Amino acid sequence: MAQAFKEFTTPGAFAVHFLDDDFRRNFEERREDIARRFPGGTENQLEHLTLRLELALEALEAGVWEYHPETGVLLWDRRMRELFGVTEAKDGPTFEIFRNSLHHEDLSIVENALSTSLETGRKLSGQFRITRPAGETRHMRVSGMPFQLPDGETIMVGANWDITNDVAVQEDLRASALQVRAQNDRLEAAHFEMERLMLHDALTNLPNRRYLDRFLASPENRGRRAACLQIDLDHFKEVNDTDGHAAGDEVLKLASVRLFNNLPQANILARLGGDEFVAMIVGPDAIKIARSSAAAILAAFGKPLVVNGRAYAIGVSIGIASADDGPSSALLVAADKALYDAKGNGRGRIRER
């Protein structure tokens, strides 16, 4: 049976489902079928039907109610009184007792849903919260249907049952799911951090040799023009020998930033260890970019690196190599040989192979 519905989804929502006209026709057909099966409505047959209904309601632990909107009369069975905690009430139930029992956040939602159901003749179905006289909050499920009496009066007949335990289980499941998700997020973050630490230099935060090896092994850049710059810091050993490794570490950090800033088009700038760095550039203009970047780096290191107020004159020697088949270990070796040539010619130079 096709159906369209509108859900009220505020906290403790009371939902009204607007079913199509087939529901009413089916309801009338079921009622007529009962009349045909039990012609005359004998007392025994009525008792049998009543017993079946009572057993069903008992199994569901549901209370039955009947509401007369024209007079405000509200009829509850024993179970309804128990559900709402008003078994001792002498002047009830009344609609005001019901209304005053509703949780303040659900009051207007329930009233609107009830009015809509009475106005449209559609089924009422949803859940809401109540507050018992002792202050306890309970979650209720409701199912009801408007019904027209022979005298023309429209009343509402329905049933309520307590779903507090079900709601608690659902909330526990949601909380557990959120906890598992948070734990997975923490594990993923830890895994990401471990991966980052494994592939990056702890001092400069640049990619390390393992990262470079992965880059060289990647098939993505195969067959493309590539250029490699092997870079060595000149006179760095004197910093460690004179002022210690702490000063040397600070010089390396500043040097890595200066290199990075002058290699904006490099695909990767890695620290291989000590004062050795390597950059890879991939693209049709790779060798052109490599040459201009090398010149910019050489000029940038013409200015000293200042650590704790002390200036260190650190130069660079650069070897360049290029290839048409992409980044590779062979390209790295060729650039290393070019670097050897640069350092052999007096340092502070650029050589290309």
The rounded mean pLDDT for the chain is 83
pLDDT digits (tens, 9 = 90+) for 174-213: 999 999 999 999 998 888 889 888 999 999 999 999 999 9
Question: Do the beta carbons of residue 311 and residue 302 sit within 8 Å?
Answer: no
Q: Where are the beta strands (DSSP E) in the chain?
A: 62-68, 73-76, 124-131, 137-148, 154-162, 226-234, 268-273, 276-282, 305-307, 310-312, 315-323, 350-352
Domain 209-352: which topology?
Alpha-Beta Plaits (3.30.70)
> 3-state class of 283 per DSSP?
coil
Kindly name the residue from 106, 234, 275, 336 that is annotated as catalytic.
275
* Residue 320, Cβ density class (10 Å: 0-12 exposed, 13-18 middle, ≥19 buried): buried
**Per CATH, the architecture of 21-162 is what?**
2-Layer Sandwich (3.30)
So what's the pLDDT on residue 340? 94
Q: What is the mean pLDDT of residues 154-161?
A: 89
- Look at residue 157 and tell me whether its pLDDT is greater than 90: no
- Look at residue 327 and tell me whether its pLDDT is greater than 80: yes
Share of the chain above pLDDT 90, in %: 56
* Beta bridge pairs of residue 306: 311
The residue ranking higher by pLDDT, 246 or 17, is 246
d(CA 119, CA 18) in angstroms, rounded, equals: 11
d(CA 85, CA 133) in angstroms, rounded, equals: 7
**Which residues have CB under 8 Å from 57's CB, separation 6+?**
63, 64, 79, 159
275 is catalytic: yes
d(CA 83, CA 11) in angstroms, rounded, equals: 21
Nearest Cα to Cα of residue 57 among 177, 143, 181, 139: 143
What pLDDT band is residue 163 in, cutting at 50, 70 and 90?
A: very high
So what's the pLDDT on residue 3? 32
What does each C-alpha distance from 253 to 188, 208, 273 come to in angstroms? 29, 14, 13
d(CA 274, CA 270) in angstroms, rounded, equals: 12
**Which residues have CB under 8 Å from 27's CB, separation 6+?**
145
The residue ranking higher by pLDDT, 32 or 250, is 250
Q: What is the mean pLDDT of residues 308-320?
A: 94
> 3-state class of 344 per DSSP?
helix
pLDDT digits (tens, 9 = 90+) for 223-242: 999 999 999 999 999 998 88
Comparing 72-81, 166-175, 306-315, the range with the smallest average pLDDT is 72-81
d(CA 119, CA 231) in angstroms, rounded, equals: 83
So what's the pLDDT on residue 149? 82
Which tokens go with 331? 């390209």
